[in-house]
Amino acid sequence: MKIDTLTVQLALAVAEEGSISRAADKLQLAVAAASKRLTDLERQLGTPLFKRVPHGVKVTESGTKLLAHIHQIDSLITRLADDAQAMRDGQDGRIIIGAPKAAIIEFLASDLALVRARYPQITLHIIEENSKIIQQLLRDKVIDIGIFEKKSGFIDVEKFDYRADELVAVYSRAHFSFADTPLEADPLLDCPLVSLGQGSAILGSLQRLHQSRGRAMGRHLTVGGFDTMLALVRHGLGVGLMPPAVLASMHPEPAIGHVALAGDWHQRSYVLASVQGRAQEHTLRNVVSELLRDRGS
């Protein structure tokens, strides 16, 4: 099987954009050339990655599984290039850290600023993925440090408590109305919901909540990112679930409201795990220690 780096990038871009033409524009490819690359890749794999629909493409069930491997190939290619660059530049060390977007916005970005201030010679590379994929990348030693939601944990490595957050319900005031008191589970589940997709901690929390109430998930919408979630919420397609700090980072207009949730099902704890593999041992130890430093949060 022969898969070049451009085809890897193209497959991931098509999955992200939901469109071959937009992915082709992103990578500065002709649409016809991009389409042929995808067809050739699917022929090599023996199964379709994407289903063509009237206004773009959708990832198939088999595509979802295979794209996880393609993403790992892309990460390894990036690691190869970055490690070579670090060696050429004589840098002290390089650490790859993977985390969900919410954790990056809420905690990790500020923590990494402190890491950079203390260890300016260490090169940091950040990978943004959901909790399930972060653990897969840790298991395969594609990343050195992984941060993921504790309840979604399945990888058998030593874990350390990192940070905690909680979700709120985000809604369009033009389409929904809620009291100022915390929203109970049943009224929330009566609403159409917008969640992050397969492998995300948010979807896992929702699934556990439905099971605890003896309810089926229903036809809720799933999306790939918080920006897309907010766009659907804005048009009244459902009530979204996200941490308040993530909502604030998107500077929502006054027409977007949010309400606290009752109970504890929406409270989340993040853990940090690391694997010794490609990173220099002392470099990895220094970064882990700095990330786990008690900052009074």
**How far apart are alpha carbons 113 and 136 in whole angstroms?**
26
Q: Which residues of the chain have pLDDT under 50?
A: 89-91, 297
> What is the predicted pLDDT for the residue at 68?
86
> What is the predicted pLDDT for the residue at 297?
46
**Three-state secondary structure call for residue 191:** coil
Q: Which residues of 146-185 are buried (b: 16+ CB within 10 A; e: fewer)?
A: bbbbeebeebeeebeebbebebbbbbbeebbebeeeebeb
- Domain(s) labelled CATH 3.40.190.10 in the chain stretch across 91-164+269-291, 168-265
> What is the predicted pLDDT for the residue at 114?
95
CATH of domain 5-68: 1.10.10.10
* CATH (one of 3.40.1360.10, 3.30.310.50, 3.40.190.10, 3.30.465.10) for 91-164+269-291: 3.40.190.10
Inter-axis angle of helices 131-139 and 61-89, to 10 degrees?
60
Q: What is the pLDDT of residues 181-193, one digit of tens each?
A: 999 999 999 999 9
CA 63 distance to own-chain centroid: 18
Element (H, E) at 163: strand 160-166
CA 98 distance to own-chain centroid: 9
Which pTM value belongs to this model? 0.68
CATH of domain 168-265: 3.40.190.10
> What is the predicted pLDDT for the residue at 88?
56
> What is the predicted pLDDT for the residue at 90?
42
> What is the predicted pLDDT for the residue at 81?
73
> What is the predicted pLDDT for the residue at 83?
64
The number of beta carbons lying within 10 Å of the beta carbon of residue 211 is 11
